């Protein structure tokens, strides 16, 4: 069953009746030629949380561990600090323990632990001086890799294997140090925490701006350091069914926020309002207030730029569900002039106020109403022009008939002079030039 709702709308002095496009009540909607699904009494889960985290879980991944270990550096940078600290400690402990075992085995094979009290008197030179057991070998391994160099334990020329082991441990120790220091520095220098000082408004609004229906949200920077080359993007995420019946659960459609005009580039010194003009190319072109209250979609907003201190790219994300978009609202002003500078009041950052004059119709219906109004005005103008032309033709016709009547045989020139003069005055009033010539 299809229903129609007639909504009166008034433009200027012409009252029109706009009939919104019919939509099936079984949960289907149409946005710019795409059939979209909407479950009744069903609230969708966020695709992107308000803090920017993506609400996605990966399951049934083949060879997940192998793939993550193949890119071990990125894996270590992405994991939590507690896990990275555990890897840091374990890597050094295992390295010290491994080479401690090797040094102990070399000394044991050389017979350094036999007759320890009489070893010096017998003239026996051990592989490692002053190593009398596993603990000594472990301490020597740790001193070698960390280059502590107490000067008590040292390797001798008696065992080439021990010398080679010292060289290998020194190289491996440098590799471990470089990897762990690089990972920690990369993790510390990541601009991820810079997002904590960037902020999107809690709600988005839809209202008229410059007589055009626009979707708007606010973005702000809490630090004095700037975001270089800051630019913003937005995407509409919702499910829809193709013409072939294929169901796509998360279709991503771009929302134009001024790519062509360059208004997507932000000088983010003070809070700014990002604007998406709802025109015929917008996925929200057929969205009315009633649709917004009953619809189920998500708008993901993304702010990207470089951190001024490190020149590293950062990205801040947030999202707005349909119930978080206020129709007929505007943001309260937050910038005020205070003597010789400007003051930003972040207490008003999320606040909005209602604009009762905002129409409840979609942008498409408003355009159709405006088109009908302009068509009606053009029709009246064309009729007026046609009527004036008809009257002019009628005047010319009547005057020509008079002249024709004047030039009939039997009428003297003297008798028609007054009539010719009156006809000439009439035609002159219509800005027409007529030349009378008579021949005897």
For the stretch 370-428, pLDDT in tens is 888 877 665 555 555 455 555 444 444 444 444 444 444 444 433 444 444 444 444 44
Rounded to a whole number of angstroms, the distance between the first and last alpha carbons of the chain is 86
pLDDT range class, residue 22, cuts 50, 70, 90: very low
Q: Where in the chain do CATH 2.60.40.1400 domains reside?
A: 21-50+202-360
Q: CB burial class (10 A; 0-12, 13-18, 19+) of residue 356? A: exposed
Tens of pLDDT, residue by residue over 157-175, are: 888 999 999 999 999 999 9
Q: CB burial class (10 A; 0-12, 13-18, 19+) of residue 243? A: exposed
Tokens 């471990």 belong to 176
For 103-159, give the DSSP string: HHHHHHHHTTTSSSTTTTTTT---SEET--SHHHHHHHHHHHHHT---SSSEE-TT-
Q: What is the CATH number of domain 21-50+202-360?
A: 2.60.40.1400
State the CATH class of domain 64-192. Answer: mainly alpha
Q: What is the rounded CA–CA span in Å between residue 254 and residue 240?
A: 15
Q: Looking at the predicted structure, is the pLDDT value of residue 115 above 80?
A: no
109 vs 436, residue with greater confidence = 109
pLDDT of residue 24: 37
Q: Where in the chain do CATH 1.10.287.70 domains reside?
A: 64-192
Mean pLDDT of 288-309: 92
CB 158 within 8 A of CB 110: yes
Q: Looking at the predicted structure, is the pLDDT value of residue 209 above 90?
A: yes
Q: What is the rounded CA–CA span in Å between residue 146 and residue 16?
A: 85
Q: Looking at the predicted structure, is the pLDDT value of residue 366 above 80?
A: yes
118 vs 171, residue with greater confidence = 171
Which two three-digit tokens encode residue 122?
């017998």
Q: CA–CA distance from 419 to each of 84, 242, 399, 408, 412 (Å)?
A: 112, 79, 11, 14, 12
Tell me the CB-side half-sphere exposure of residue 187, using CA atoms within 13 A. 19
Q: What is the rounded CA–CA span in Å between residue 264 and residue 184?
A: 34
Tens of pLDDT, residue by residue over 231-253, are: 999 999 998 888 898 999 899 99
Q: What is the rounded CA–CA span in Å between residue 29 and residue 20?
A: 13
pLDDT of residue 2: 35
């Amino acid at each position: 069953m299809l229903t129609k709702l007639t909504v009166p709308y008034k433009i200027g002095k012409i009252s029109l009746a706009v009939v919104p496009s019919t939509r099936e009540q079984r949960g289907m909607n149409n946005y710019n030629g795409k059939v979209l699904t909407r479950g009744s009494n069903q609230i969708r889960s966020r695709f992107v949380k308000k803090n920017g985290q993506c609400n996605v879980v990966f399951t049934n991944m083949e060879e997940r561990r192998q793939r993550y270990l193949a890119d071990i550096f990125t894996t270590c940078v992405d994991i939590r600090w507690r896990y990275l600290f555990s890897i840091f400690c374990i890597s050094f402990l295992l390295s010290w323990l491994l080479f401690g075992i090797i040094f102990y085995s070399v000394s044991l094979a050389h017979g350094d632990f036999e007759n320890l009290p009489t070893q010096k008197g017998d003239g026996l030179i051990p592989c490692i001086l002053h190593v009398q057991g596993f603990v000594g070998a472990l301490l020597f391994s740790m001193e070698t890799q960390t280059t502590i160099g107490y000067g008590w334990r040292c390797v001798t020329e008696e065992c080439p294997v021990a010398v080679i082991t010292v060289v290998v441990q020194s190289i491996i120790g440098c590799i471990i140090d470089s990897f762990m220091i690089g990972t920690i520095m990369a993790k510390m220098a990541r601009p991820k925490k810079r997002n904590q000082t960037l902020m999107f408004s809690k709600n988005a609004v839809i209202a008229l701006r410059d007589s055009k229906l626009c979707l708007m949200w606010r973005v702000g920077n809490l630090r004095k350091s700037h975001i270089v080359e800051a630019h913003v993007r937005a995407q509409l995420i919702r499910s829809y069914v193709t013409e072939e019946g294929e169901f796509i659960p998360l279709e991503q459609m771009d929302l134009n926020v001024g790519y062509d005009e360059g208004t997507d580039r932000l000088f983010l010194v003070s809070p700014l309002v990002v604007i998406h003009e709802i025109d015929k190319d917008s996925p929200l072109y057929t969205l009315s207030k009633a649709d917004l209250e009953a619809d189920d979609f998500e708008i993901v907003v993304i702010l990207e730029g470089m951190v001024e201190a490190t020149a590293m790219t950062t990205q801040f994300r947030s999202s707005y569900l349909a119930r978080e978009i206020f129709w007929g609202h505007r943001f309260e002003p937050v910038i005020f002039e205070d003597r010789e500078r400007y003051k930003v009041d972040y207490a008003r950052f999320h606040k909005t106020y209602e604009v009762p004059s905002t129409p409840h119709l979609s942008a498409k219906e408003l355009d159709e109403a405006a088109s009908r109004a302009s068509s009606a005005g053009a029709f009246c103008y064309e009729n007026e022009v046609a009527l004036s032309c008809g009257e002019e033709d009628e005047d010319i016709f009547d005057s020509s008939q008079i002249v024709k009547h004047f030039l009939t045989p039997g009428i003297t020139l003297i008798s028609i002079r007054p009539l010719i003069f009156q006809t000439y005055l009439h035609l002159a009033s219509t800005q027409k030039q007529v030349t009378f010539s008579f021949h005897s």
